[in-house]
């Protein structure tokens, strides 16, 4: 595997090997001191990781940051666990805000877990694949979601179906790139509404 981040420097930052067992793997890579100092200056930075096995390869997004950070959550939006039916969650994008206004690229995901398969990722383009959506964030929210009358019509993703009987857990994640002088990347979990009276970080489908 190899990791690249052009904002730190051109080319490959680090290489390493990994071995998959039961659909899981871990790897340890090291950065040059100069690259680590640059990362510390930049803060959380969007990078890419290329995974390969034989002639096959895949390129995925990766967040590099200096030291571990606890999970954070968008303040609104999220995964409605059973809005359309007991096993049909409904995803609502947070109303991203920014001042001054800035173009943003947003990519939504639903991560789901079962004891048999571990964690897997579902995007708007299928398993392990999601699309980027370009909007404009303003101080009052996403410009494109405001109707001529001023009402909010936020981006949603539905229907999403969950197979019953597998004790599935699901949580939503939104990636976002703010386009300033240099791209600023972040991602956060989105809260989930298990019922009308409780808000949790995930949905559970028995």
What is the per-residue pLDDT across 122-181, written as a single tens digit (0 to 9) for each?
Answer: 999 999 999 999 999 999 999 999 988 889 999 999 989 999 999 999 999 999 998 876
86 shares its domain with 146:
yes
Instruction: Supply angle C-alpha 184, 143, 185, rounded to 5.
Output: 10
> Per residue in 80-90, pLDDT tens?
998 888 999 99
Count up the domains in the chain and report the number: 2
Strands 56-64 and 168-179, by their bridges, are unpaired
180 shares its domain with 92:
yes
User: Residue 162 and residue 81: Cα distance in Å, rounded?
Assistant: 10
What is the residue range of 181's domain? 73-205
Q: How far is Cα of residue 39 from the mean position of the Cα atoms in its chain?
A: 20
């Amino acid at each position: 595997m190899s990791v690249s981040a052009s904002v730190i420097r051109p080319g490959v930052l680090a290489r390493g090997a990994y071995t998959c067992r039961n659909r899981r793997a871990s790897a340890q890579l090291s950065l040059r001191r100069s690259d680590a100092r640059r990362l510390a200056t930049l803060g959380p930075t969007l990078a890419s990781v290329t995974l390969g096995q034989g002639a096959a390869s895949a390129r995925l997004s990766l967040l590099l940051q200096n030291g571990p950070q606890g999970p954070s959550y968008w303040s609104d939006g999220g995964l409605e666990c059973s809005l359309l039916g007991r096993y049909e969650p409904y995803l609502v994008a947070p109303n991203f805000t920014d001042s001054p206004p800035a173009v943003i690229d947003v990519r939504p995901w639903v991560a789901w877990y079962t004891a048999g398969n571990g964690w897997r990722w579902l995007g708007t383009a299928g398993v392990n694949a999601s699309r980027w959506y370009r909007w404009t964030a303003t101080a009052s929210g996403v410009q494109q979601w405001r109707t001529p009358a001023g009402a909010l019509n936020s981006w949603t993703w539905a229907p999403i179906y969950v197979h019953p009987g597998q004790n599935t857990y699901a949580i939503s994640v939104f990636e976002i790139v703010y386009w300033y002088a240099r791209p600023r990347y972040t991602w956060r979990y989105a809260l989930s509404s298990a019922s009308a009276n409780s808000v949790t970080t995930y949905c559970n489908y028995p």
